[in-house]
Amino acid sequence: MGSGQNFPIAGVSLAAVTFVALLLLGVDVVIAVAVLTVWVGSLLVAAGRPPEPPRAKTRQRLTLESISDLIENSSIPLVITDRNTIALANHAARRMLGPHVIGQDTRVALRQPEAVSLLGENGQREAIVRGLVRRGDIWQINRQMIDDRLAMLEFINQTAEADISRAHTDFVANASHELRTPLAAILGYVETLQEGDAQLDTPTATKFLGIIEREAKRMQSLVSDLMSLSRVEAEKHELPTERIDLAALVERAARDAAGSARAERLLFDLAAQPVVHGDRQQLEQVVRNLVDNALKYGAPDTPVSVSLDLAQGDLARVTVADQGEGIAPEQIPHLTRRFYRTDPGRSRASGGTGLGLAIVKHIVERHRGRLDITSELGKGTRVVVRFPLAEAEAPPPEAAEFDQNPSETQQLS
């Protein structure tokens, strides 16, 4: 029997009593069983009811109150329109468009023609709108009908994606330009040498070959820096774990950057011996780039100071300072941009690629450090890099045990 049917307990009990009574009265067993079977069967047939037909599911009409509870805490700006009037706006939408938009005509609230064009269409539509909130921002607006009156507008901010795409485009354009300049010089002088028909004198040919060599090295440096920058960006989320003696690394990398010709200009002040977690190759690159910049752009024959100390108790601080012309205050925030140069002509003449400080910035960020640049016109530039100190290593258990029992150690020896 299906669920919801009642078993006829009383009737079956009465039929059982009657069956026993018939047996006691001497009625034939077959007749008694037949009577019991017919009686119980009739009771069961009478008690059975056909199953109830399934109830049709009725779709409850959405109310503005129920919709408001659903969308209020969404991080995506959502707006519910009733015809062409804004009936609801969640917290994110009110923060974006202002609390006054509720009850306002949607065309007045959005203003943009691309957004207004969505309102006259039924069904699901989308549009890309520029400058909806701030100049230059980009929003994708999706419209979905809820019923014959209500519709939902979803606002997706695509400004960051557009900025990334624009940055990639600018990077490729700048890299192509930087590579094209030395390549054009190399090809031009090579063609001149090839077309000279051995008429060029030796000094001129030597001069041309020197220019070719210089431009080829410049191109090699640019490719090397591009590869370094690519590697740092690919590993920026991987925290280095190698323990490094920073004092020895700073002195070695600074002397490598200066070379034998400029080593006498370095002034070291390594007042601390900090240990940090880091990528040895990348930390050396930071010091080399900073020292090389200071030597190139500092005044000739002036010292470049390289110091290492502790800051705030738990930070290793590396400082590189020169005595050059200095940098204008408005240019300092842009120094870590790729290919940015305060003096493009002077930078290219000195062999700079415009990527040195961009690489330094990314390496410092990977090491959870901090980069600060200060400068004063006519006095020089000071670059400070801070890295968190590595935690002290715990002594091995055996060493700790021996330290606690010096007498026992003496007996063993």
Question: What amino acid positions are annotated as catalytic residues?
Answer: 177
CA separation, residue 140 to residues 99, 114, 121, 329 (Å): 21, 10, 16, 38
Written in H, E and C, the secondary structure of 256-324 is: HHHHHHHHHHEEEEECCCCEEECCHHHHHHHHHHHHHHHHHHCCCCCCEEEEEEEECCCEEEEEEECCC
Concatenating the DSSP letter of every residue in 34-98 gives HHHHHHHHHHHHHH--PPPPPPPPPPPPP-HHHHHHHHTT-SS-EEEEETTEEEEE-HHHHHHH-
What is d(CA 22, CA 355) in angstroms, rounded to the nearest whole number? 111
Other Cβ atoms within 10 Å of 51 Cβ, number: 11
Q: Give all strands of the β-sheet with 380-388 in edge-to-edge order.
A: 266-270, 304-311, 315-321, 380-388, 370-376
Helices 280-297 and 356-366 sit at what angle, rounded to 10 degrees?
150
The alpha carbon of residue 381 and the mean position of all alpha carbons in its chain are separated, in whole angstroms, by 31
Residue with tokens 């006095």: 379
Half-sphere exposure of residue 11, counting CA atoms within 13 Å on the CB side?
15
Q: Are 153 and 142 in contact (CB under 8 A)?
A: yes
Q: Are 194 and 208 in contact (CB under 8 A)?
A: no
- Residue 198 DSSP SS3: coil
Q: Residues 110, 112, 117, 123: is their CA dihedral positive or negative?
A: negative
- Residue 385 DSSP SS3: strand
Other Cβ atoms within 10 Å of 16 Cβ, number: 13
What is d(CA 312, CA 388) in angstroms, rounded to the nearest whole number? 10
Alpha-carbon torsion angle 280, 284, 287, 292, nearest 10: -170
